[in-house]
DNA sequence: GTCTATAAGCCGATAGAC
DNA sequence: GTCTATCGGCTTATAGAC
């Protein structure tokens, strides 16, 4: 309980992450995950009570790494707020040009499981996207922009549109077009009225 | 050859459309499609050489109806160009609130088949989205907006982001937020310089 | 063109030994 | 906690009759 981590379970999740992301949830059998993890199916089912449980663990494992990456791209970008937002899209475009890129694991899973709205994986995916939106909102609030919640939502929509569109067309240029739109929306956002305005 | 249409093949495509859209490609067996169409599997394989062939026919059947619907929403909307573009999103939000709505069949199929970039269905999906983008571009050209190709692309990104995001959150309000962003992008687009300017 | 029947294999999940 | 072995069912696709 209090001691070292369990490598077996982690190895199973790592194998699931690789295969589910590469080939899709329903395109990968539990046998394949077990084989790649170097365990038997019986061992896999000792750690996870069902494939659905494994799918949830797969997405759970992608939550923080993805968010951290977006924040890092934002933080390390030069320029003002619009350029920092745009930098997320430009960095993502770079990633998307890698041949093994397969879009957003959360969105693809939600597309596959669209007929199961209550699936645990759907909740994890929705929570992940909400965290991203909430983080953007705090950045916009800090910059004293009015309508920060709406603006954060619109940037998130552009980002998810990029994921979906680039996956279909296999053309990362769409991501840069989305980045320009995001830059423009942030640039033209008004500053919030201060609490004690000096003049009307 | 020259006479009446074949109802059997159409019935199979209609059954595939219903089931693939509702439950996803890989979640539906060829047996299920045949049963719903009221034919045996052997008959289905007479008309389609493989399941992949049937998937392609499914998307082919959704191409024109979807485009016609978007154009109709645009044409029938009141107000200027920004409002007409926004109307597409608002009408889509209304559709998305129907319990049987499952997002965009093209995007969901591309998410499922992300590991098969050369699949016929991917090409049909990409062509469909290109047609939408091209249509928007002609509308923006007609309105003498500069940068019509980029603007059309950004509106398309917002639309596909809406599809993906609303499917995940099951909250159609995201579509209206995207519509507002689209309205703003179109509203603030500059008019193109005329070919023979009177003055510099 | 549509039928009955079935091939050949993969699916998620489990039983029981150690 | 990990193994071997397997269940019962479902998968795409095909053979051959009519």
Cut 0.85: pTM above it: yes
Candidates A53, A74, A43, A28; CA nearest to A182 is: A74
pLDDT surpasses 80 at B193:
no
Residues A167 and B104: beta-carbon distance below 8 Å: no
pLDDT surpasses 80 at B128:
yes
pLDDT surpasses 60 at B184:
yes
According to the model, what pLDDT value does residue B190 have?
Answer: 84
How close B161 gets to chain A, by Cα (Å)? 3
Around B33, how many Cα atoms within 13 Å sit in the side-chain half-sphere?
Answer: 36
pLDDT digits (tens, 9 = 90+) for A58-97: 999 999 999 999 999 999 999 999 999 999 999 999 999 9
Give the nearest partner residue to B115 out of A24, A112, A163, using CB atoms: A24
Distance from residue B8 (CA) to nucleotide C2 (C1'), in Å? Answer: 11
What are the phi and psi torsion angles at B115 (to 5°)? -90, 5
**Residue B14: CB atoms within 10 Å:** 16
Please give the nucleotide, over all strands, whose C1' is closest to the CA of residue A6.
D1
**Cβ B111–A167 below 8 Å, yes or no?**
yes
- Which CATH number describes the domain made up of B62-195? 1.10.357.10
Residue nearest to nucleotide C5 (CA to C1'): B42
**Residue A173: CB atoms within 10 Å:** 13
Distance from residue B32 (CA) to nucleotide D6 (C1'), in Å? Answer: 28
The pair of structure tokens assigned to A155 is: 């940037």
According to the model, what pLDDT value does residue A20 have?
Answer: 96
Please give the nucleotide, over all strands, whose C1' is closest to the CA of residue A41.
C13
List the single residue in B with minimal CA-CA distance to A122: B168
According to the model, what pLDDT value does residue A6 have?
Answer: 62
Q: Where in chain B is the domain with CATH 1.10.10.60?
A: 1-48
According to the model, what pLDDT value does residue B194 have?
Answer: 65
Report residues of chain A scoring pLDDT below 50.
1-5, 200
Q: Where in chain B is the domain with CATH 1.10.357.10?
A: 62-195
CB A8 under 7 Å to nucleic chain D: yes
**DSSP 3-state of B4:** coil
pLDDT digits (tens, 9 = 90+) for B24-43: 999 999 999 999 999 999 99
The CATH number of B1-48, from 3.40.630.10, 1.10.10.60, 3.40.50.300, 3.30.420.40, is 1.10.10.60
User: Per-residue confidence at B3, pLDDT binned at 50, 70, 90?
Assistant: very low
């Amino acid at each position: 309980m209090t001691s070292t981590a369990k490598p077996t379970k982690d190895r199973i999740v790592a194998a699931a992450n690789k295969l589910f992301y590469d080939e899709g949830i329903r395109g990968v059998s539990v046998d394949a995950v077990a084989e790649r993890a170097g365990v038997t199916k019986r061992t896999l089912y000792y750690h996870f009570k069902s494939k659905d449980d494994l799918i949830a663990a797969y997405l759970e494992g992608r939550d923080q790494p993805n968010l951290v990456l977006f924040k890092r791209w934002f933080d390390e970008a030069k320029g003002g707020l619009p350029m920092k937002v745009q930098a997320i899209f430009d960095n993502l475009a770079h990633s998307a040009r890698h041949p093994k890129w397969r879009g957003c694991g959360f969105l693809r899973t939600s597309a596959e499981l669209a007929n199961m709205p209550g699936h645990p994986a759907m909740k994890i995916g929705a929570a992940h996207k909400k965290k991203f939106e909430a983080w953007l909102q705090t950045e916009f609030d800090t910059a004293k922009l009015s309508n920060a919640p709406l603006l954060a939502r619109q940037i998130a929509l552009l980002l998810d549109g990029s994921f979906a569109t680039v996956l279909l067309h296999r053309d990362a240029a769409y991501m840069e077009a989305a980045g320009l739109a995001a830059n423009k929306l942030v640039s033209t956002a008004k500053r919030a009225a201060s609490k004690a305005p000096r003049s009307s």
